[in-house]
């Protein structure tokens, strides 16, 4: 699903340089990425998603070499093929839970909002146990409920790849397990691939594989 070769990236004017000699993630695999803060985990997610473009090497997601796409093509690829789950949920206060879930469809012409999509959104909310909260403003939800809504938003376009950046980092232990259960179940339902950045070693046994950034020799300079 994901194939990375001799990836190199640095931020202009910064001493940091990310180097990933090789990384492959199979279709349907759940990979946990660990490593110390500042080691470039989030940067790696940005490179896979096409938010940033590598200086060297290439990133392939499925059959698409993301790193070779132009700006607009990368955006369209991202919104149709990749679902993002953030640590701080990133829901919009001024939208209801349902509107937050539908938001990607309202901000991109690559996705078409129709009845089927609405129905699927409601089903997702039902599966995540927050269907009754669909009309509530997102800020009125608990943190666990907000992350469930954020997962619904990431999953609604039925992406082949889910990128989770510390998705359970702001949750209490009970909610961590619950959210992870729900995320894994939905990923399995969609036969999607999951790449999750985490600092929580308790959760690692639940992943198919763990990739430690320390394994990338010369990762940071």
Residues that bind other proteins in the complex, under the rule CB under 8 A: 46, 49, 51, 72, 75-76, 78-80, 82, 84, 86, 90, 92-95, 99, 103-108, 110, 113, 137, 153
- Strand (E) or helix (H) holding 146: helix 143-155
Nearer to other proteins, 90 or 190 (CB): 90
Nearer to other proteins, 83 or 216 (CB): 83
* DSSP-based three-state secondary structure for 31: strand
Nearer to other proteins, 160 or 178 (CB): 160
Q: From the CB of 220, what's the least distance to other proteins, in Å?
A: 23
Q: From the CB of 79, what's the least distance to other proteins, in Å?
A: 3
Work out the angle at residue 38's Cα, subtended by the Cα atoms of residues 19 and 184, and round it to the nearest 5 degrees: 85
Q: From the CB of 198, what's the least distance to other proteins, in Å?
A: 18
Nearer to other proteins, 11 or 202 (CB): 11
* DSSP-based three-state secondary structure for 186: helix
User: CA neighbours within 13 Å on the CB side: how many for 158?
Assistant: 10
Closest CA to 139 of 172, 81, 185, 93: 93
């Amino acid at each position: 699903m994901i194939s990375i070769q001799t990836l190199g990236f640095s931020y202009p004017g910064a001493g940091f340089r990310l180097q990933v000699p090789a990384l492959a993630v199979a279709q349907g695999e759940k990979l946990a990425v660990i490593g110390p803060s500042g080691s470039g985990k989030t940067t790696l997610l940005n490179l896979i998603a096409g938010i940033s473009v590598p200086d060297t090497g290439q990133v392939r997601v499925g059959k698409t070499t993301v790193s070779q796409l132009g700006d607009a093509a990368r955006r369209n690829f991202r919104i149709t093929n990749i679902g993002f789950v953030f640590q701080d949920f990133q829901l919009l206060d001024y939208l209801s839970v349902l509107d937050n879930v539908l938001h990607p469809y309202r901000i991109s012409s690559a996705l078409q909002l129709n009845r089927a999509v609405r129905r699927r959104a409601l089903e997702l909310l039902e599966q995540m146990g927050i269907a009754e909260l669909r009309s509530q403003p997102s800020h009125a939800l608990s943190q666990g409920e907000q992350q469930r809504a954020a997962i619904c938003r990431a999953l609604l376009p039925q992406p082949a790849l889910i990128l989770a950046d510390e998705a359970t980092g702001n949750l209490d232990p009970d909610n961590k397990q619950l959210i992870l259960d729900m995320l894994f179940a939905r990923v399995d339902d969609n036969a999607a691939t999951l790449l999750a950045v985490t600092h929580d070693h308790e959760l690692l046994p639940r992943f198919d594989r763990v990739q430690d950034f320390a394994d990338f020799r010369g990762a940071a300079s």
